[in-house]
Structure 1
Amino acid sequence: MGWSPMIFKFADGGEEPVPLDPASIRAVLEPHEVGDPRLTAGTGKDGGLEFWVRASDGSEAEIFADARCIAVHRPHAGAVWDIVAELVSRLGAVVFDPSGGGVVCRAEEHAHLPASMRDDVTVIEMTGEALEVALTGS
């Protein structure tokens, strides 16, 4: 079973995630795509995007995106976290920790979270290293 941090964007304290910008997702992930380029076209049943990204150090992750959520499936340790952090920053989004149930975000996104989520947040500078440490402890 894979470990998959989830990325969502919230606005103005609303309880429901808001739509993600597919152009921003593509702009960040396509330069690192090493999988089947036909899958990034959004041709799936739900119009979702699929990426298999590889960072310069060889670390990888499978990334699945739909209109309101991105799943980062089985991210390796290493520079792939830089790609994920860039994606989160570009989208103005937050990351849900699948193991602890908390949220990781920049200070800029904290105020946009629903009030019910604001207490269990780890606020970080959104870098690959800081995000990896916040989610994995290493």
Structure 2
Amino acid sequence: MSYSPSIYKFADGGEMPVPLDMELVRAVLEPHDVGNPQLTVGEDGGLQFLIRASDGSEAEISADETGILVERPHTGGVFGIVAELVSRLGAVIIDPSRGRAVCREEEYAHLPAGMQEDAVVIEMTGEAVEAALIGTPRR
């Protein structure tokens, strides 16, 4: 079974996500990319990464201006990389198993009204993201 959270940025309670800063996405993810650098930028301008944290945990990440998909993240340090990306973008994570947003207090007010009730506000650290999404405590 595949588990793939998404990352979006909202502004002023608008229902539609706003475009992401793709240069910032590259700046955060490229240092952790272990995939083929020639395949990083697709023909459509989308980005593809296979990121690996220092503990060996990995995730495949696909990004375009509308959002980011984090495919099959392993438990561990890769969640720290995701947390850094989300923080620097001022974005939120959508938990696919519960359909709720996971975000910092700073982004909560920007969520659409319909998403605020179920949102989980956390400190955006790898440990907190991992616990909010899959409930696995770090050891």
Instruction: Report if TM-score (shorter chain) is over 0.5.
Output: yes
Cα distance per residue 1:7-31 (max 9 Å; x no partner): 0000011110000001110111000
> TM-score, normalised to structure 1's length?
0.96
How much does 1:2 deviate?
Answer: 1.8
Equivalent-residue separation in structure 2 for 1:39 and 1:33 (angstroms): 11
Which runs of structure 2 are paired with 1:52-63 in the superposition (5 Å)?
Answer: 52-63=50-61
Which runs of structure 2 are paired with 1:103-118 in the superposition (5 Å)?
Answer: 103-118=101-116
Equivalent-residue separation in structure 2 for 1:39 and 1:134 (angstroms): 31
Give the corresponding residue for 1:97. Answer: 95
Which runs of structure 2 are paired with 1:1-138 in the superposition (5 Å)?
Answer: 1-40=1-40, 42-44=41-43, 46-138=44-136
Equivalent-residue separation in structure 1 for 2:26 and 2:11 (angstroms): 22
Secondary structure, aligned partner of 1:65: strand
> TM-score, normalised to structure 2's length?
0.95
How much does 1:50 deviate?
Answer: 0.1
The alignment's C-alpha RMSD in Å is: 0.8
AA in 1 matched with 2:20 = L
CA contact (8 A) 2:42 2:48 kept: no
Equivalent-residue separation in structure 2 for 1:50 and 1:39 (angstroms): 7
AA in 1 matched with 2:38 = R
How much does 1:75 deviate?
Answer: 0.2
Equivalent-residue separation in structure 1 for 2:29 and 2:112 (angstroms): 28
How much does 1:38 deviate?
Answer: 1.2
Structure 2 stretches lacking a partner, 5+ long: none
Cα distance per residue 1:48-84 (max 9 Å; x no partner): 1000000000000000001111000000000000000
Moved over 2 A (4+): none
Aligned residues: 136
Identity of paired residues, percent? 68
